[in-house]
Amino acid sequence: MPEQDPGDGVQLDLISAERMEGKTSMEKIRMILDSVHDGDIVVLEKGLTPDEESRLIEVTMTEINPDGFTGIEIESFPRSETKDSGLLGRIMGKDEDPAKLTVIGPANQIQSLHKDETLISALLKRQ
Amino acid sequence: MGLFADLRDSISAVTAKLFAGEGEDPKRIGIYGPPNAGKTTLANRIARDWTGDAVGPESHIPHETRRARRKENVEIERDGQTVSIDIVDTPGVTTKVDYEEFLDHDMEKEEAVRRSREATEGVAEAMHWLREDVDGVIYVLDSTTDPFTQVNTMLIGIIESRDLPVLILANKTDLEDANVQRIRNAFPQHETIELSALEGENMDEVYDRIAEKFG
């Protein structure tokens, strides 16, 4: 991710499926957790596989420390069986495989992460 | 009468061992679920009912179980058949652990930090075991809370992706706010059995289903 001075803002990283393509599971997890450690919110156009989700939880646990990183908040839409383009696909002008969309952020900065059938809503703490 | 009874008992015992697959290792059944769902209470109930021993201490404090505990060779008898399993009681799976949560339970900071560190190691270990080291899963949910959480969805997805047999238990039905149907609606693809592990309610059906699913 490009390094920026966040100031009082929160950086939102929208990661396309293309950017994740060809990466190993651990490379994906590292990319996600590096961003979350920086206080960023990560939105994956294509979610992780169940095995990758399991490893994400495992690696997250090993990196939790009492000095600041308390873990992650995560929400996903389930994989769609239809071929309709997803939200991020439309934002990025893509019309490909509608894999699930996943939002991941630092637990200590996200006040609540709510999901219903059509909306994922993140409430961030003020700095 | 005595001779026939002895003969019948001997035949039953041999048959039971055959069904149990004598000589095979017991199946390792992991008890998974979110923190405070009653996993250790259930593990203790099963262990006490069939072996007389408990697995570990129960507590209302989240992450009381911070290391997976195994009770080996639990032999559950149903209809003359014996199912032999190792019960693995795991820490509640979560994506976050904040030591400050423990401070609310009258702990000093040092103790709270130690507990949170152990809890994170325990969850990491439980996730590793789920990928590598269990043959089936009993997924325990608190029926008074909303089951539609990302962790539950992820865990059930991981279990399904590994083709592990899974039994969902809707625990704490002794509480007034229990809503078993909400759990059935959340995971309609799996059988959900209601119970109160604390009160021992409906355990006969739980054992029937354990025998069917993991036998």
Within-domain flag for B172: yes
What separation in angstroms does the CA of B167 have from each of A40, B62, B138?
37, 23, 5
Half-sphere exposure of A76 (CA within 13 A, CB side): 23
The domain ranges of chain A are: 10-124
Nearest residue on chain B to A65, alpha-carbon basis: B117
Contact criterion met (CB below 8 Å) for B26 and B84: yes
- Residues of chain B scoring pLDDT < 50: 1, 13-21
- pTM of the predicted model as reported, rounded to 2 decimal places: 0.83
Beta pairing class for B192-194 and B166-171: parallel
Nearest residue on chain B to A48, alpha-carbon basis: B154
The predicted pLDDT at position B49 comes to: 93
Within-domain flag for B13: yes
Collapsing DSSP states into helix, strand and coil, what is residue B160?
helix
| Residue B107: count of CB within 10 angstroms of its CB | 16
Within-domain flag for B110: yes
ipTM: 0.81
B162: CATH: 3.40.50.300
Within-domain flag for B64: no
On chain A, the residues whose CB falls within 8 A of the CB of B123 are: 57-58, 61
Size of interface A-B (CB pairs under 8 A): 74
Chain B, residues 104-143, CB within 8 A of chain A, namely 113, 116-117, 120-121, 123-124, 127-128, 130-131
Q: Cβ B99–A71 below 8 Å, yes or no?
A: no
Separation CA B113–CA B125 (nearest Å): 18
Task: Name which of A59, A78, A107 is nearest B96 (Cβ-Cβ).
Answer: A107
Within-domain flag for B195: yes
Chain A, residues 4-43, CB within 8 A of chain B, namely none
Contacts of B157 (CB under 8 A, 6+ apart): A50, A53
Within-domain flag for B128: yes
Separation CA A46–CA A88 (nearest Å): 9
Separation CA A39–CA B143 (nearest Å): 34
Within-domain flag for B63: no
Domain range for B201 is 3-57+69-214
pLDDT (tens digit per residue) in B197-206: 999 999 999 9
pLDDT (tens digit per residue) in A8-57: 678 899 999 999 999 999 999 999 999 999 999 999 999 999 999 999 99
Q: In total, how many domains does chain B have?
A: 1
**CATH domain A10-124 topology:** 3.30.950
Q: What angle do CA B131, B162, A72 make, to 5 degrees?
A: 55
Q: Which residue has the tokens 């270990």?
A: B125
